[in-house]
Amino acid sequence: MTLDLLQPESGNILIIDDTPANLQVLMNLLSSQGYTVRPIPSGKLALQGIHLDYPDLILLDISMPDMDGYEVCRHLKQDERTREIPIIFVSALDAMFDKIKAFEVGGIDYITKPFQAEEVLVRVRTHLALHKLQKKLLTKTEIQEEKLAQKNAALQEINQQLSEANQELFRRFEQLQNAQLQLVQSEKMATLGQLVAGVAHEINNPIGFLKGNLEPAQCYIEDLLRLMDLYQEVFPDPGGTIVSEIEAIDLDFLRSDLPKIIVSMSLGVDRLHQISKSLRTFSRTDTDKKATFNLHEGIESTLLMLKHRLKANENRPEIQIVKDYGDLPKLQCFAGQLNQVFMNLLANAIDALEESNTGLTFAEIAANPNQILIQTQPIDGNIIIKIADNGKGMPEELKHRIFEQGFTTKPVGKGTGLGLAISRQIIEVRHGGLLKCQSELGKGTELVIVLPTGKK
């Protein structure tokens, strides 16, 4: 935008001067150019009347009684309503000091008396044009700022909506993950429970048959042995053929060993019965309501399920299970789910020990035996269960990720990354407890379960 300083600008001009002749000359000069002019002979009167009609430009004398032009200018610049009105000082004072002071108090120009008409007109036109341009720019800036504020408000609203949408997506993603874990857990436990329960049921039939027949068999054997004793008393000389047969079958040994065999068979049947009972304990199917459960029985049944993995093999000695059981109260819980947690944690401990054995000889492992420590204790209304191995442990970055769904350090085909995620959900979501990991490289790993009993 350019300014044509030769063309007069319309505008409202206020002249403040205590000399009537100066007021008349300036008023005639400016009125002839089409400006609206308002003369005021006093600074105080000007400050009182300026609010009736704000001018576009002020011509201000310096030397006035009561209040000089400097003081008038200061008052105008301190008032927000008049601060932006341009002020041209018109004065007979021609010293550099006066001019500098005029600019310091807020003036935009200085005309020395006696003035030239053309100089006054050019300066007035220039500052009116600049003032109008400044007002336009200010208005335009305000409009742009308002538009920008509206856009910022719209962006903030969009960001808020996006944030809320992201939170909702994250919440639904967590719900989906939990639902997937529950589905995997339910299907896994249902399948395993059916399998184990089926095996236990099938074992029970022959166990019952054997146990039901061992006692009468033992009675029959005792009857036969008594009958043989009677024969020996009645026929002390049975003949050469029978004597030879007695010697051949070692009758004395048979008489003493046969009852022992029956007792051994009975113990075996009792052992099978205990195994069947443990299988049924492990495969307990959970209902929608919690039931009273002995946690130690759950741990023991899980150890039985994993016994084949604990036995010695050609690569290593037996993995030692060290138990430090406290006096635990029975717990209202979902027993089948807790058994699944015990299975996951103990199986992971065995995996960790087997991994730590890599590169070691049988003798080296035997010198520092693989060991899993199981501790239980009641503390302050909670049941604490610790399962610790003496493997190689894990670094911090892995320790903080082991409960993530899908995260696993095992080779492809050997781990799904679901076991610990499911275990945490069972402990923390289903039972309101806590599952945490403590591990240090070279010192093994400990998983700690905290289950509230509801009693303190």
DSSP result, 50-81: GGGS--SEEEE-S--SSS-HHHHHHHHHHSTT
* Token digits of residue 258: 């046969």
Q: What is the pLDDT of residues 387-446, one digit of tens each?
A: 999 999 888 888 777 877 655 655 544 544 467 887 888 899 889 999 999 988 888 999
Q: Which of 95, 84, 87 is nearest to 43 (CA)?
A: 87
- Rounded Cα distance between 407 and 423, Å, is 14
> Where do we find the tokens 């011509």?
59
Domains for the chain: give ranges and CATH numbers. Answer: 12-115 (3.40.50.2300), 284-456 (3.30.565.10)
Q: Which positions ≥6 away from 106 have C-beta within 8 Å?
A: 73, 74, 76, 77, 87
- Rounded Cα distance between 2 and 12, Å, is 22
Angle between helices 117-234 and 20-31 (to 10 degrees): 80
> Can you give the pLDDT at residue 284?
55
> Can you give the pLDDT at residue 407?
55
- Rounded Cα distance between 28 and 13, Å, is 12
- Distance of alpha carbon 17 from the chain centroid: 75
Q: Are 72 and 16 in contact (CB under 8 A)?
A: yes
SS3 150: helix
Q: What is the largest CA-CA distance in the chain?
A: 176
DSSP at 418: -
> Can you give the pLDDT at residue 307?
87
Q: What is the pLDDT of residues 318-362, one digit of tens each?
A: 999 999 999 999 999 988 888 888 988 999 899 999 999 999 999
Sheet with strand 434-439: strands edge to edge: 320-324, 371-379, 382-389, 445-452, 434-439
> Can you give the pLDDT at residue 2?
42
Q: Which of 107, 108, 92, 103 is nearest to 22 (CA)?
A: 92
Report phi then psi at 177, rounded to 5.
-60, -45
Q: Are 276 and 214 in contact (CB under 8 A)?
A: no
Q: Which positions ≥6 away from 200 have C-beta within 8 Å?
A: 276, 279, 280, 283
The type of residue at 116 is Q
> Tens digit of pLDDT per residue, the chain (456 long)?
444 444 445 789 999 999 999 999 999 999 999 999 999 999 999 999 999 899 999 999 999 988 999 999 999 999 999 999 999 999 888 788 888 999 999 999 999 888 889 989 999 999 998 888 888 888 888 888 888 888 888 888 888 888 888 888 888 877 776 666 665 555 555 555 555 666 666 676 677 767 778 788 888 888 888 888 888 888 888 788 888 888 888 888 888 888 888 877 877 777 676 666 656 665 555 556 788 989 999 899 888 878 888 999 999 999 999 999 999 999 999 888 888 889 889 998 999 999 999 999 999 999 999 999 999 999 999 999 999 999 998 888 887 778 776 556 555 445 444 678 878 888 998 899 999 999 888 889 999 999 998 766
Extract the runs of DSSP E, i.e. beta strands, from 136-290: none
* Token digits of residue 397: 């970055």
78-113 as b/e: b if 16+ CB within 10 A? eeeebeebbbbbbbebeeeebbebbeebbbbbbbee
Report phi then psi at 59, rounded to 5.
-105, 120
